[in-house]
Structure 1
Amino acid sequence: MTKLVLAGDIGGTKTLLQLVEVQGDTRHMVYERRFDSAAHGDFNGIVGEFVYAAGFISAAAQPIVAACFGVAGPIHGQSAKITNLPWSINAGAVGAEFGIAKVHLINDFAAVGYGIEALHPDDLATLQAGEDEPHGTRAVLGAGTGLGEGLLLWRGDHYEALPSEGGHVDFAPADSEQVGLLNYLQPLFGHVSYERILSGSGLVKIFEYVTEHGLAKATPQLQAAMLEIDPAAVISEYGLDERDPAALKALDMFVAIYGAQAGNLALTLLASGGVYVAGGIAPKIIAKLKRGGFVRAFNDKGRFAALLQRIPVRVVMNQKVGLMGAALVASRLADRNQVE
């Protein structure tokens, strides 16, 4: 029997919604749409616009029987406050307004974790081959608007994704320049988490530190470009092709700190099943990640360097992995009457 489910990937920058037709283990995308999150006052308004556009508002149409939304923020009792948006989402309210019997909220990086099993090998870029341990614990992290983290545990026939807010742990500088960065950020934020650095806005803060403390000088061309478009995107672009010494320095620091935190997570979880680097930034700077700075910082764990070198590290290149994971959970809701 064919059923319709709704999946969503909800972040501070964008919201992706997808209507999926499910029959057994087969899933077929029916309709998909991207929304600018900040342009909307609440989530239910986006769902309403999506459902209307999809044409599934008639009582005679096939109903949506289940929905799962991966949300960028902590979840309490199936309610969530989005970390980088003034939104609150309640699963029951969404279900009641749109006539969906089963609605479930999961952490956005739990959704990414579920989606990893649905990826094709071409969706992954390897930074460190390591030694795959079948059914070993997996770690997931990814920088974008914020820094998401999660873990995957094998449960007999599939991986179960568990959420984490590890992106908000204390930043631990690894050298004197990073100590300087911490000292620069503390008056601004008080508590300096990894998310304050490993995010689009964090890259801009690193650049400001680099230029204000004389670690490198920005070119007039870069400074002009930063006034016209997204500063983080400009810094990445100029750093990737080494057009600007300050952008290059900032990007090098960003990559080193990213690799170090990935290694921290791998050690914390003993991620013998691999570390998966997702999020919006990694695919855009994949050429830089492959140059070795990320992996060097990942493995730089003193007595445990050899252990880290055995852990596979892969970048998720498919930006819809979270949506794929939410669709998988929605399918299970529809077919098995349970959430895993």
Structure 2
Amino acid sequence: MNSGGPRFVADVGGTNIRLALIENGRIAKIEKYLCADFDSIASAIQHFQQNNVETSFSAGCIAIACPVNDDMVKMTNHTWAFSKLALKQTLGLEHLFVINDFTAVAHSLPTLNHNQVIQIGQGSAKENGNIAVFGPGTGLGVEHLTHTGNAWHTLDGEGGHVDFAPTDPSDLIVWNYLYKKYGRASAEEVLSGRGIVNIYTALCLHDGEIPHLTEPSDVTKAGLDSSDIYAEKAIHQFCRVMGSFAGNLALNLCTKGGIFIGGGVTSHLGEFFINSEFRSRFEAKGDFAHYVKDIPTYLINEPDHGLLGALAFLTQQTQRINEDE
């Protein structure tokens, strides 16, 4: 990629788009817009360009919360839809990369330092060891990262939709509730915003109580301030299930590089999560407790990790293209 023109990265969610310039290999001049204020992603990027650079961008990387495998990209939680090829032409770019938002999260992980994560429990990361990241939010995002040759590669999948594996009596209460309601219990129906509500509802109904909280934020708030005993039990169980799930990811791919946790739900739990039984459940793998006990677990504490991941991906692709030329 020989062009010396300005480059940008973008992190696009259902509500906001965050854009940044790349200056001296780092993100700079971050701006955040409401997606609803623009008719298209092209107009949002053009607005950012007009505010920050005098010439057209030469390249960019967009991390976006929706499938990106085809040329046509249609957002799941917003009205924007675009052709990658047409957007590249509209913006006059030499190179455009469009990646899933969780792919960007994964690519950010090797670049984070100890100030950008909070380690939970023991363990130390092995350089270039396999990494897993998951994030309970509206859904449950999961991604794996492996290092081959001189580059990091994501291993895509739908890890949020694996079967929910109960490991204690409270888990079984939740599993039974979900099975009766849906005919199947998936991890996402437990480890997400609605998952917290599902846990709360299941625990209430099991004791013959009427659940009166219906929003994830209400359950979380009532649990954190101990104003509702079932909400408090629900967030305790949520943290335990996260530990078991994280331990399964560690076993699946020998994640010596660490397990990272993102997502809005976990960040709202804050210190409660850090002090929870997450790590003890992570290590509760019976005869294979020794296998996971030295694998570190981290809570992502960097608000710009989506942009950092888009930058890491763009940088890696830049190096590959230059090597090929």
Mark yes or no: TM-score above 0.5. Answer: yes
Alignment partners' CA distance in 1, 2:302 and 2:246: 19
Q: 1:185 to 1:47 in 2, by over 3 A?
A: farther
The one-letter code sitting in structure 1 at the alignment partner of 2:13 is G
Q: 1:154 to 1:53 in 2, by over 3 A?
A: closer
Cross-structure match for 2:293: 309
Cross-structure match for 2:162: 169
1:262-277 correspondence runs (5 A): 262-277=246-261
- Unaligned 5+ segments in structure 1 are none
Deviates more, 1:162-171 or 1:74-83: 74-83
Cross-structure match for 1:252: 236
**TM-score scaled by length of structure 2:** 0.86
Alignment partners' CA distance in 1, 2:208 and 2:7: 52
Match of 1:5 among 4, 7, 31: 7
Q: 1:213 to 1:11 in 2, by over 3 A?
A: farther
Taking only aligned residues, the RMSD between alpha carbons, in angstroms, comes to 2.9
Give 1:324 deviation, angstroms: 1.1
Deviates more, 1:178-187 or 1:326-335: 326-335
Q: Are residue 52 (structure 1) and residue 47 (structure 2) matched?
A: yes
Alignment partners' CA distance in 1, 2:208 and 2:306: 37
Cross-structure match for 2:31: 32
Local SS of the residue matching 1:63: coil
Cross-structure match for 1:140: 133
Q: Residue by residue, what CA displacement relative to the aligned partner does 1:140-172 show, whole Å, maximum 9, x if unpaired?
A: 111112111111212344533333321111212
Local SS of the residue matching 1:117: helix
Native 8 Å contact 1:102 1:333 kept in 2: no
1:1-340 correspondence runs (5 A): 3-12=5-14, 14-23=15-24, 26-35=25-34, 39=36, 45-55=40-50, 61-84=54-77, 88-214=81-207, 231-333=215-317, 337=321
Structure 1 segments, 4+ long, off by >6 Å, are 215-218
Local SS of the residue matching 2:188: helix
- Unaligned 5+ segments in structure 2 are none
Q: Residue by residue, what CA displacement relative to the aligned partner does 1:215-273 show, whole Å, maximum 9, x if unpaired?
A: 7777xxxx5xx68xxx2223222222323211101101111111111111111011011
Alignment partners' CA distance in 2, 1:320 and 1:28: 9
Residue-pair matches, total: 321
Alignment partners' CA distance in 2, 1:159 and 1:234: 39
The percentage of counterpart residues that share the same residue type is 29
Native 8 Å contact 2:117 2:298 kept in 1: yes
Q: 1:34 to 1:304 in 2, by over 3 A?
A: farther
The one-letter code sitting in structure 2 at the alignment partner of 1:51 is Q
Alignment partners' CA distance in 2, 1:72 and 1:190: 28
Alignment partners' CA distance in 2, 1:166 and 1:194: 8
Native 8 Å contact 1:138 1:272 kept in 2: yes
The one-letter code sitting in structure 2 at the alignment partner of 1:280 is G
Native 8 Å contact 1:137 1:271 kept in 2: yes
Give 1:130 deviation, angstroms: 1.0
Native 8 Å contact 2:236 2:276 kept in 1: no
**TM-score scaled by length of structure 1:** 0.83
Alignment partners' CA distance in 2, 1:255 and 1:248: 11
Native 8 Å contact 2:27 2:307 kept in 1: no
Local SS of the residue matching 1:164: coil
Q: Residue by residue, what CA displacement relative to the aligned partner does 1:291-315 show, whole Å, maximum 9, x if unpaired?
A: 2411122112221111111111111
Q: 1:239 to 1:206 in 2, by over 3 A?
A: same
Give 1:48 deviation, angstroms: 1.0
Native 8 Å contact 2:20 2:307 kept in 1: no
Local SS of the residue matching 2:106: helix
